[in-house]
Amino acid sequence: MRCVIIGGAAINNVSAIKKYLKTDDYIICCDSGLYNAQKLEITPHLIIGDFDSHPKPDSDIETITLPCEKDDTDTVYAAKEALSRGFDDFLLLGAAGDRLDHTLGNVSVLLNLFEKGKTAMLADDFSEMEIVGSAPKTVSKSFSYFSLLAFCGSAGKVTVTGAKYPLEDACINCDYPYGISNQVMGDKAVVSVKKGRLLLIKVR
């Protein structure tokens, strides 16, 4: 099964986000992610949080209560808990929004899961985000744009095919974001990175 972690960032395009959900997903709600679960009309299997942004629920659903002062965010703790329960595939929802600090922190969660050999994606009202390494990633023509950002240091030997702006053995650094707003030209574009990691953002 896949583990879906739902955070508290606003989900406004409910119909788009619902399309990501599967009937056999294991759902973890982080604190005010419970509001998003109500919007999505789903019931969590596990609730985790310090309940500073949502009242602690009075229900029979398994709940882990965290202290307000801690090193791990609720989302980080949820990812760790899911890893301890054996999940290998992750989807983060309600994890990107008005709080840029939390959004970037949740991108770090993607990177952490990637480095552990797990599959992980973050989806919001406008886009999908995932980490790219040596294994090629595809971008379908259903996406209007896609961008590549060096989220952790430099990425070398970057190759992009099937796109308006192709690359071959290129280098993308954090201080010069020239991988923004590329477009798929055929049925799909393919991205790979031989050295380092990139954040791939596919814009719907």
What domains lie within the chain, and their CATH numbers?
Answer: 3-125 (3.40.50.10240), 132-203 (2.60.120.320)
Position 53 pLDDT exceeds 90: no
Average pLDDT for residues 20-37, to the nearest whole number?
95
pLDDT at 180: 95
Average pLDDT, the chain: 93
User: Whole-angstrom Cα distance, residue 187 to residue 115?
Assistant: 29
- Model pLDDT for residues 114-173, shown as the tens digit of each residue: 999 999 999 999 999 999 998 999 999 999 999 999 988 899 999 999 999 999 999 999
Instruction: Quote the pLDDT of residue 140.
Output: 96
Q: Can you give the C-alpha Rg of the chain in angstroms? A: 17
Residue 200 has pLDDT above 80, yes or no: yes
Cross-strand pairs, 199: 131, 149
Cα–chain center distance at 152: 16
pLDDT at 54: 74
pTM: 0.92
* For range 16-37, the mean pLDDT: 95
Q: What's residue 113's pLDDT?
A: 97
The number of helices, as runs of H, and strands, as runs of E, in the chain is 4, 13
Q: Where are the alpha helices (DSSP H) in 57-190?
A: 74-84, 100-115
| In the predicted structure, residue 98 carries a pLDDT above the cut 80 | yes
| For residues 52-64, average pLDDT | 83
CA-based nearest residue to 119, from 146, 95, 91: 91
